[in-house]
């Protein structure tokens, strides 16, 4: 009997469109018969829809009014791993055996989606609430990394409320930092809202832009002469973890931008297959084996355990060429394209990747199920 595997994507996030591309790649790339793939789409109001994968095209997701013959509104019932159609709520449409999280940003990466699915007894491949929330918030990530002795770039952070209440005082404090600086939303991905600044005037502008995407902003020292490296891992923190090769993305701008990641390599292509490759379409080189490569791989494995992550992740690093020092930059607990471009290099197909993620989802649920949750004591 086929297993019903939900691919959940979309959601109220600046990375909504990136998530659609990731899910499309995974859904269209699965060619085996073992799984019955159930595309579950969240619109920008976080309303859930079951998608007819045989009728949908990429442009259908961008319509203001979704086509009701393709998108069927669904809902869940507490502690039941089923999806129900709004139009016929009495009978379950499908029982979900496992879920693969393809939601970038928003509820998919801040832990809310996992919390919901846990309440429905639906196994999910990505990390638990703590793992997602702590890696989604770049400020929290840095504090945890520093506590574990892992190098990250010096930083400060500011909330929108204090910026608006005490702009002069806050700016005086920030202007004591040595330029150039990198300004980014604390809880955002895909390089959205990130800017490099070289003066107080640019700093004010960049902070205002970052506040459009989050109410907490991270400001960190910009490394001048650097290289960027990425590494992926699949598994469960504290259990078996497989680490990928290390890549060095080819960037066009000073910092790796959204355009570098998703637009430049595919914008001139007329092929829909190329346009939906996501980060797979980006130019990249792989780092040969050596001390730096080994350190990146070892640190990636440590991160998986430290944050109790699971599923597939990507960790981004910055290497200061002058100081010969490696910094952990960001952790992506639900990475673009599910970091498939790393695993394709090792001849792991999308079929293989999906099978691994389903096994991880079920193992995650088994680990929790086996824990004792009753410690009866005599109160009187």
Distance from the Cα of residue 374 to its chain's centroid: 34
Tell me the pLDDT band of 337, cut-offs 50, 70 and 90: very high
Give the pLDDT mean for 87-108: 95
Q: Residue 99 falls within a domain, yes or no?
A: yes
Q: Determine the distance from the C-alpha atom of residue 36 to the mean position of all C-alpha atoms in its chain, rounded to a whole number.
A: 24
- Confidence grade of residue 269 (pLDDT, cut at 50, 70, 90): very low
pLDDT band at 375 (very low <50, low <70, confident <90, very high): low
- Containing 41, the helix (H) or strand (E) segment is strand 35-42
* pLDDT band for position 238 (cuts 50, 70, 90): confident
141 and 281 both lie in a single domain: yes
Number of domains in the chain: 3
Q: Is residue 380 part of a domain?
A: no
Residues 289 and 326 in one domain: yes
Mean pLDDT, residues 208-218: 95
- In terms of domains, do 238 and 201 share one? no
In tens, the pLDDT along 280-291 reads 556 789 999 999
What CATH number is associated with residue 211?
3.30.1490.20
- 142 plus 54 within the same structural domain: no
Question: Would you call 205 helix, strand, or coil by DSSP?
Answer: helix
pTM of structure: 0.89
Q: At what angle do helices 16-29 and 350-369 cross, to 10 degrees?
A: 110
- 311 lies in a domain? yes
In a domain, 207, yes or no: yes
On whether both 24 and 86 belong to a single domain, the answer is yes
What phi and psi values does residue 273 have, to the nearest 5 degrees? -60, -40
Q: Is residue 376 part of a domain?
A: no
For range 293-322, the mean pLDDT: 97
Say yes or no: 112 and 31 in one domain. yes
Q: Are 301 and 233 contacting, i.e. CB atoms less than 8 angstroms apart?
A: yes
Domain with 287 in it: what CATH number?
A: 3.30.470.20
For the chain, helix, strand, coil in percent to 5 are: 35, 30, 35
The CATH number that applies at residue 12 is 3.40.50.20
Same domain, 115 and 241: no
- % of the chain beyond a pLDDT of 90: 78
140 & 243 share domain: yes
Do 9 and 84 sit in the same domain of this protein? Answer: yes
Do residues 237 and 176 share a domain? no
- Model confidence over 139-152: pLDDT tens digits? 999 999 999 999 99
| pLDDT score of 266 more than 60 | no
Determine the Cα–Cα distance for residues 255 and 45; give it in Å rounded to an integer: 31
DSSP 3-state of 324: coil
The answer to whether residue 377 sits within a structural domain is no
**pLDDT for 274 beyond 90:** no
Supply the range of the domain harboring residue 80. 3-126
For CA atoms 333, 149, 301, 281, the dihedral sign is positive
């Amino acid at each position: 009997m086929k297993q019903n595997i939900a691919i959940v994507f979309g959601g109220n996030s600046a990375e909504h469109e990136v998530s659609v591309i990731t899910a499309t790649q995974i859904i269209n790339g699965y060619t085996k018969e073992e799984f019955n793939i159930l595309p579950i789409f969240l619109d920008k109001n976080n309303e859930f829809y079951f998608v007819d994968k045989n009728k949908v095209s990429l442009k259908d997701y961008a319509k203001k009014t979704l086509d009701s013959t393709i998108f069927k509104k669904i809902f869940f019932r507490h502690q039941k791993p089923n999806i129900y159609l709004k139009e016929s709520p009495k009978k379950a449409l499908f029982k979900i055996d496992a879920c693969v999280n393809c939601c970038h940003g928003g509820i998919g990466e801040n832990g809310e989606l996992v919390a919901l699915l846990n309440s429905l007894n639906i196994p999910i491949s990505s990390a638990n609430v703590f793992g997602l929330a702590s890696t989604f918030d770049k400020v929290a990530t840095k504090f945890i990394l520093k506590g574990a002795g892992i190098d990250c770039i010096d930083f400060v952070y500011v909330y929108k409320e204090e910026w608006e209440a005490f702009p002069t005082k806050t700016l005086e404090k920030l202007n004591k930092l040595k330029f150039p600086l990198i300004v980014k939303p604390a809880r955002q991905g895909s390089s959205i809202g990130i800017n490099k600044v070289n003066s107080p005037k640019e700093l004010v502008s960049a902070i205002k832009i970052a506040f459009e995407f989050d109410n907490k902003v991270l400001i960190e020292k910009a490394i001048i002469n650097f290289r960027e490296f990425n590494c992926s891992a699949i598994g469960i923190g504290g259990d078996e973890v497989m680490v990928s090769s290390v890549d060095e993305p080819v960037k066009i701008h000073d910092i790796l931008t959204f355009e570098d990641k998703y637009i430049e390599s595919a914008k001139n292509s007329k092929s829909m297959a190329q346009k939906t490759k996501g980060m797979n379409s980006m130019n990249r080189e792989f780092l040969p084996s050596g001390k730096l490569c080994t350190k990146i791989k070892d640190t990636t494995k440590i991160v998986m355990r430290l944050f109790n992550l699971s599923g597939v992740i990507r960790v981004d690093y910055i290497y200061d060429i002058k100081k010969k020092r490696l910094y952990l930059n960001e952790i992506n607990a639900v990475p673009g394209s599910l970091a498939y471009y790393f695993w394709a290099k090792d001849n792991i197909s999308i079929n293989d990747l999906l099978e691994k993620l389903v096994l991880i989802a079920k193992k995650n649920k088994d680990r929790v199920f086996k824990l004792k949750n009753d410690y009866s004591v005599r109160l009187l």
